[in-house]
């Protein structure tokens, strides 16, 4: 479990010549009784890792689509405890690694050591905590390290090179390369310089570099994948799930198969 599962999942994909695909879903959007089925579906589609968002009243990194999903999840009574309970129940039947994206307030309210232990019991392999900078992460790293839970760091295109290098040297599992200057949300294209930015992070990082924020179609997956090790897709997956468009999700996930699909026309 933990860091090793993430490392092994990424290595399997990259060794066969494909790119990693990490879908993000909001836990409890559509009801917590559907969470296990959603994870199983994404695993069958070929997801490398599943990133699971925990609904929070004051998100700082989420755009409108994910904010709305969080509101729906909160309205249905979703809590961190309830999410971890569902994950624990389905742990034996689940093979894809789980990474939770949450905010520090929720972790702090449980107690950091207790929360880390709850994650282990639920089969959580890694955490993304957007509002904990490097300078303050000692609040969580001892407990996470003790329980072998990866702390995945985020890099930004506005960060100085020295900062990028430091973040890359300390990330675990993979480096989350934020590709836009803003919050999450589907976009039609990317600003100039993204390729160089991803190549720079690759040169700094000993772990795989995955590009996220704004990835919304197979062309994005292909284009970004030329410069890094894979992608993270959130808002588009959340919207497609809400609309019941499962075939489109499958097509999007499978667009990361570089070894089998060389052009977009093959999709």
pLDDT at 186 over 70: no
- CATH architecture for the domain at 3-257: Alpha-Beta Barrel (3.20)
d(CA 32, CA 186): 25
Question: Model confidence over 118-164: pLDDT tens digits?
Answer: 999 999 999 999 999 999 999 999 999 999 999 999 999 999 999 99
Structure tokens at 40: 């199983």
Q: At residue 244, does pLDDT exceed 60?
A: yes
Report the mean per-residue pLDDT for the chain: 91
- What is the spatial order of strands in the sheet that 20-26 belongs to? 150-151, 126-128, 98-101, 50-53, 20-26, 230-233, 209-212, 175-178, 154-155
Global pTM reads 0.92
Task: Determine the pLDDT at residue 183.
Answer: 47
Catalytically active residues are 51, 62
Q: State the Cα–Cα distance between residues 64 and 186, nearest whole angstrom.
A: 10
Would you kindly state where each structural domain of the chain is located, as residue ranges?
3-257
Rounded CA gap, 220 and 111, in Å? 39
């Amino acid at each position: 479990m933990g860091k090793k599962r993430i490392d092994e999942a990424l290595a399997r994909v990259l060794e066969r010549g494909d790119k990693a695909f990490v879908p993000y879903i909001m836990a409890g959007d559509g009801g917590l009784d559907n969470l296990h089925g959603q994870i199983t579906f994404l695993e069958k589609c070929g997801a490398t890792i599943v990133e699971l968002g925990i609904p929070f009243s004051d998100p700082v990194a989420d755009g409108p689509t994910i904010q709305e999903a969080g509101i729906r999840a909160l309205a249905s009574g979703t809590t961190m405890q309830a999410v971890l309970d569902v994950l624990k129940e389905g742990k034996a039947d689940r093979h894809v690694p789980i990474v939770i994206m949450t905010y520090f307030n929720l972790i702090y309210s449980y107690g950091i050591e207790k929360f880390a232990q709850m994650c282990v019991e639920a089969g959580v392999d890694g955490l993304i905590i957007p509002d904990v900078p490097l300078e303050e992460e000692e609040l969580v790293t001892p407990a996470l390290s003790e329980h072998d839970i990866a702390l995945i760091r985020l890099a930004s295109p506005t960060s100085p090179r020295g900062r990028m290098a430091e973040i890359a040297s300390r990330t675990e599992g993979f480096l989350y390369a934020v590709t836009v200057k803003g919050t999450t949300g589907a976009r039609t294209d990317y600003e100039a310089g993204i390729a160089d930015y991803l190549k720079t992070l690759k040169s700094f990082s000993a772990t795989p570099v995955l590009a996220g924020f704004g990835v919304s179609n197979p062309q994005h997956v292909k284009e970004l994948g030329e410069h890094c090790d894979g992608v993270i897709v959130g808002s588009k997956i959340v919207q497609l799930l809400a609309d019941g468009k499962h075939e489109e999700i499958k097509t999007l996930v499978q667009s990361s198969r570089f070894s089998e699909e060389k052009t977009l026309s093959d999709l």
